[in-house]
Amino acid sequence: MSHMSYSNLTQINNAVKRINDYIHETPVMQSNVINTLVNRNVYFKCEHLQKTGSFKLRGALNNILCKLENQNINGVVTHSSGNHGQATAYAAKLLNIPAIIVVPKSTPQIKCEAIKFYGAKIFFSEDTPQSREELCYKLAKENGYTIIHPYDDYDTINGQGTLGVEFLKQVPNLDAVLISVSGGGLAAGCSVALKNLNPKIRVYCVEPFGKELEESLRAGRRLWKGEQKCLDTVAEGLKVHQPGQLTFPILCDLAEQNIFSVTNPEMIDGVKKSMKYLKQVIEHAAGAAVAALFKYNKVIPVECENIGIILCGGNINVDSLL
């Protein structure tokens, strides 16, 4: 398909070279207790320990650096539930570029404070995708800034795909990987990387309850009705209801059609399991993948002995845990 010419292993490997000097190679952890409980070898990719506290820096950096290769940039602007905003603000600061970040009013204070710390201007929108996108485009036009999309841009997708390359380099024998999905940039990019490096690997998407991704994946077309909306979920990083126009076809081609759906209490329990067994503080979007491992362990084929879990972020309000 045509989208694969814009997101492929060559493009992702180019992204690796482009951003490598700016990011951490995040560690992989295991828990003997979890391995025993699920009777598999489970590898946790600790992207919550990435700079800015999530995988989002990979996509934001690659996107901005790609834009700089092809044009002059007066500044950058984006809309975000928090993590992409932090990543874009940090990347812009590294590259001495002004940044504006649009976030919903409900964005956790910890994420807003980080965006301001990195020197970006922050604007608040209403808690709808339409509101934050409209404000983002308005500010881009008024300031002559370049939009850095959080997921529906091949430069972002390819940047997120570098995580898949890195993970498989660290654990070459992975049989399956569980990835939390919102707009789909991480899942799409990692699917391209992982399936090109190992066509037999299975990529399972993890969603908050109510996203209803499985019906559309199985149909191979978008079955959602109406405009984009925000889901009612404790995971602010997974609020986007529908994956992007660019990410969805990639998921249709490469991800498993079985979607692992988890509820708010299950995501909270996933965060607690990470603290209990890994001694790692993660946010609810990452807790979703941990929860899915336990909830859907019997759905994953028994021959998949080595399971990867991407802990996508760690920007959680710690006060809410105490």
Could you list the active site residues?
56, 81
Residue 316, token pair as written in the block:
């959680």
Residues 6+ away with beta carbon under 8 Å from 2: none
Classify 21 in phi/psi space as left (phi over 0), alpha (psi -120 to 50) or beta. alpha
Tell me the pairing of strands 306-311 and 260-262. Answer: unpaired
Backbone angles phi, psi at 199, to 5 degrees: -60, -20
d(CA 76, CA 295): 40
For residues 309 and 290, is the Cβ–Cβ distance under 8 A?
Answer: yes
d(CA 41, CA 33): 10
For residues 199 and 174, is the Cβ–Cβ distance under 8 A?
Answer: no
Q: How far is CA 238 from the centre of its chain?
A: 9
Instruction: Tally helices (H) and strands (E) across the chain.
Output: 12, 10
Count of CB atoms within 10 A of residue 121's CB?
Answer: 16
Residue 80, token pair as written in the block:
């975000």
From residue 320, alpha-carbon distances to 108, 233, 263, 316 in Å are: 11, 15, 18, 8
